[in-house]
C-alpha cells in the first residue's frame, strides 16, 4: 500500500506542477497585457475589456465542450482504447472549430450591436468594434489549440501544453508591446496591435502544437478521427452540455454578485475587486491539483478500478483541505502587506480587510467543493448532478440572499460577502454526500462497448 501511495503522490505532483506553472504564467502575463493597454487611456481600456467579454463567453463554451472530451479521453486512456480517444478528440476539434466560426462571424457582422449590450458610450463602441472584428479572427485557432491541450493533458502529457502555452503567451506579450507602441521597427497600432498580436500568437501556437502531435512520438499515435459517430455524439453532448451550462450559470451568477457589490458603494466594489485578485491567485495550486486528480481518477474508472478511483479522490480531498488551511493562514498573515500596496481610501481599506478575512476562511470550503466537483465527480461523468447542485445553491440561495442582504437589510459589503459564501457550505453538504455515496462514478468507457 505504501508503494501505491508513493506512486499516487509522484503521479499527482508530476501532473499538477506543470499545470500550476502554466496558470501562474497566464496570470502574470495577463496582468502585463492589461498594464500595456492601460497606458492608452480609459476609452481603450474599456473597449478592450468589453470586447474581451465575448472571448470570455466563448472560452466558457470551449471549456464545457472540452471538459466532456477530457472525461471521455481520460477514461478511455485508462482502458487503453486509443481508437475511441481519436473519435472523441476529432469530435471536440470539430465542435470547437464550429463554435469559433460562429462567434467570429457574429463579431464580423454585428460588432456594434454586441458591444451595445455592455455600454452606451459611442466612443467605446466605435473603437471596440474595430478591435473586436480583428481580434475575433483568432477565435478558431484558440479553440483548436484548446482541444489539443485537453487531449494531451487527459493522456497524462502535461509538459507540452505548459511549454507551448508559455511560449505563445510570452510571444503574444512581446509582439503586443511592439505593435501597440511601435517598438523594434513595428508600426504603432494601439489596441489594434494587441489584437493582431493575439491572432499571430494563436496561429503560431496552433502550428507548433499540431506539428508536435503529428510527428512526435507517442503523440502521433492519437491523431483525430473526423468521422461522425451518432451514438458517441449523443453521449458526448449529454455529458459535456451540463458542464457548459454550468459554466454559463456560474458566470452569470458572478456577474450578478459584482453588480450587487457595485450598488452598495464604490468602496465596496474596490474591496471585493482586491479580494477577487487574491482569490484568483490563491486558486492556482488547486487548479493544478484538481486537473491532475481528474486525469488520475478518470483513468482508474476507465480501467474498471472504481474503488481505486474513489481512494484517489479521498486522498486528493485530504491534500486539498490541508493545502487550503495553509493558504488561509498565508492570506491572513499577508493581507495587511497586500493592502498597503493599494492607494485606496480608509473606508475601502477597512472593508477590504474584513472581506479578505472572510475569504481566507471561505477558501477552505470553496476549494474543497472545487476539488470534489472538478477534480473528482466530473471525472466520473456526474455532470448532471453537479449542474443541479451548482444551479440550485447559486440561484435558489446565493443570488436571492445577496439581493436581500444588500438591498433590503442594507448590510455592509463584508456581511453581504459572508452571506454569499454560505452558499459554499450548503453546496458542500450535497457534494460531499454524493462523493461518499460513490454514485458519481460512471464508467463511460465501458458503456461505449
DSSP string over 256-277: HHHHHHHHH-HHHHHHHHHHHH
In order of 276, 284, 289, the CA distances from 261 in angstroms are 12, 24, 31
Give yes or no for a contact between 26 and 169, defined as CB atoms under 8 angstroms apart: yes
Do 188 and 264 fall within a single domain? no
Do 248 and 146 fall within a single domain? no
Do 92 and 125 fall within a single domain? yes
Do 166 and 279 fall within a single domain? no
Q: Report the chain (449 residues): mean pLDDT per 10 consecutive residues.
A: 78 92 77 73 80 86 90 94 93 95 97 86 90 95 95 92 91 93 93 93 95 82 86 90 90 86 84 86 92 95 95 96 97 91 85 95 97 95 96 96 95 96 97 97 79
Residue 446's pLDDT is what? 79
Do 205 and 269 fall within a single domain? no
Residue 2's pLDDT is what? 59
Q: What is the number of structural domains in the chain?
A: 2
Residue 99's pLDDT is what? 95
- Phi-psi category of residue 411: left, alpha or beta, with phi > 0 → left and psi -120 to 50 → alpha: beta
Do 171 and 262 fall within a single domain? no
Residue 25's pLDDT is what? 79
- CA-to-CA distance for 120 and 109, rounded, in angstroms? 19
Do 172 and 74 fall within a single domain? yes
Do 286 and 180 fall within a single domain? no
Contacts of 139 (CB under 8 A, 6+ apart): 55, 58, 100, 103, 104, 107
Angle at 103 between CA 234 and CA 288, to 5 degrees: 70
Residue 65: other Cβ atoms inside 10 A:
26
Residue 449's pLDDT is what? 57
User: In which domain, by residue range, is 357 found?
Assistant: 232-447
- In sequence order, what DSSP letters do the residues of 349-402 get, joined into one string? HHHHHHHHHHHHHHHHHHHHHHIIIIIIITTTT-HHHHHHHHHHIIIIIIHHHH
Contacts of 417 (CB under 8 A, 6+ apart): 272, 275, 355, 358, 359
Q: What is the pTM of this model?
A: 0.88
Do 207 and 62 fall within a single domain? yes
CA 323 to chain centre: 20
Do 301 and 437 fall within a single domain? yes
> Among residues 228, 259, 290, which one ends one of the domains?
228
* Residue-level length of the chain: 449
- Phi-psi category of residue 180: left, alpha or beta, with phi > 0 → left and psi -120 to 50 → alpha: alpha
> Among residues 228, 244, 269, which one ends one of the domains?
228
Alpha-carbon dihedral 119, 123, 128, 134, rounded to 10 degrees: 150
Phi, psi of 134 (to 5 degrees): -75, -45
> Among residues 228, 259, 293, which one ends one of the domains?
228
Give yes or no for a contact between 371 and 286, defined as CB atoms under 8 angstroms apart: yes
Do 212 and 276 fall within a single domain? no
Do 207 and 319 fall within a single domain? no
Report which secondary-structure segment, H or E, holds 32. helix 2-38
Amino acid at each position: 500500500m505504501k508503494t501505491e501511495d508513493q506512486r499516487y503522490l509522484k503521479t499527482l505532483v508530476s501532473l499538477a506542477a506543470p499545470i500550476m506553472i502554466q496558470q501562474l504564467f497566464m496570470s502574470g502575463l495577463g496582468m502585463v497585457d492589461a498594464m500595456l493597454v492601460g497606458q492608452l487611456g480609459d476609452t481603450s481600456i474599456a473597449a478592450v475589456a468589453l470586447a474581451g467579454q465575448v472571448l470570455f463567453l466563448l472560452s466558457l463554451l470551449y471549456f464545457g465542450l472540452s471538459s466532456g472530451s477530457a472525461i471521455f479521453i481520460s477514461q478511455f486512456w485508462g482502458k487503453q482504447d486509443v481508437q475511441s480517444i481519436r473519435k472523441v478528440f476529432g469530435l471536440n476539434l470539430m465542435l470547437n472549430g464550429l463554435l469559433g466560426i460562429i462567434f467570429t462571424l457574429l463579431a464580423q457582422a454585428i460588432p456594434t450591436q454586441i458591444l451595445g449590450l455592455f455600454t452606451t458610450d459611442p466612443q467605446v463602441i466605435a473603437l471596440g468594434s474595430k478591435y473586436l472584428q480583428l481580434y475575433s479572427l483568432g477565435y478558431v485557432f484558440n479553440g483548436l489549440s484548446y482541444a489539443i491541450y485537453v487531449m494531451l493533458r487527459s493522456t497524462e502529457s502535461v509538459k507540452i501544453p505548459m511549454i507551448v502555452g508559455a511560449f505563445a503567451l510570452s510571444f503574444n506579450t512581446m509582439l503586443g508591446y511592439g505593435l501597440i507602441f511601435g517598438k523594434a521597427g513595428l508600426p504603432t497600432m494601439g489596441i489594434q496591435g494587441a489584437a493582431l498580436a493575439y491572432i499571430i500568437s494563436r496561429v503560431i501556437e496552433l502550428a507548433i502544437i499540431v506539428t508536435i502531435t503529428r510527428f512526435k512520438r507517442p503523440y502521433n499515435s492519437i491523431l483525430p478521427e473526423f468521422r461522425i459517430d451518432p451514438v458517441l455524439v449523443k453521449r458526448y453532448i449529454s455529458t459535456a452540455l451540463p458542464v457548459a451550462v454550468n459554466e454559463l450559470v456560474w458566470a452569470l451568477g458572478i456577474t450578478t454578485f459584482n453588480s450587487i457589490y457595485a450598488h452598495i458603494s464604490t468602496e465596496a466594489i474596490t474591496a471585493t475587486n482586491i479580494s477577487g485578485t487574491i482569490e484568483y491567485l490563491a486558486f492556482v495550486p488547486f487548479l493544478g491539483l484538481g486537473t491532475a486528480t481528474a486525469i488520475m481518477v478518470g483513468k482508474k474508472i476507465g480501467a474498471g478500478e472504481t474503488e481505486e478511483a474513489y481512494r484517489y479522490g479521498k486522498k486528493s480531498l485530504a491534500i486539498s483541505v490541508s493545502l487550503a488551511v495553509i493558504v488561509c493562514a498565508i492570506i491572513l498573515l499577508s493581507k495587511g502587506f497586500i493592502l498597503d500596496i493599494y492607494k485606496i481610501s480608509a473606508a475601502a481599506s477597512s472593508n477590504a480587510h474584513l472581506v479578505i478575512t472572510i475569504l481566507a476562511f471561505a477558501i477552505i470550503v470553496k476549494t474543497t467543493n472545487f476539488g470534489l466537483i472538478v477534480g473528482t465527480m466530473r471525472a466520473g461523468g456526474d455532470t448532471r448532478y453537479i449542474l443541479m447542485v451548482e444551479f440550485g445553491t447559486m440561484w435558489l440561495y446565493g443570488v436571492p440572499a445577496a439581493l436581500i442582504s444588500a438591498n433590503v437589510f442594507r448590510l455592509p459589503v463584508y456581511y453581504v460577502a459572508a452571506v454569499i459564501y454560505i452558499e459554499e457550505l450548503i453546496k458542500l453538504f450535497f457534494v460531499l454526500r454524493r462523493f461518499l455515496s460513490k454514485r458519481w462514478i460512471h464508467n463511460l468507457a465501458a458503456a461505449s462497448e
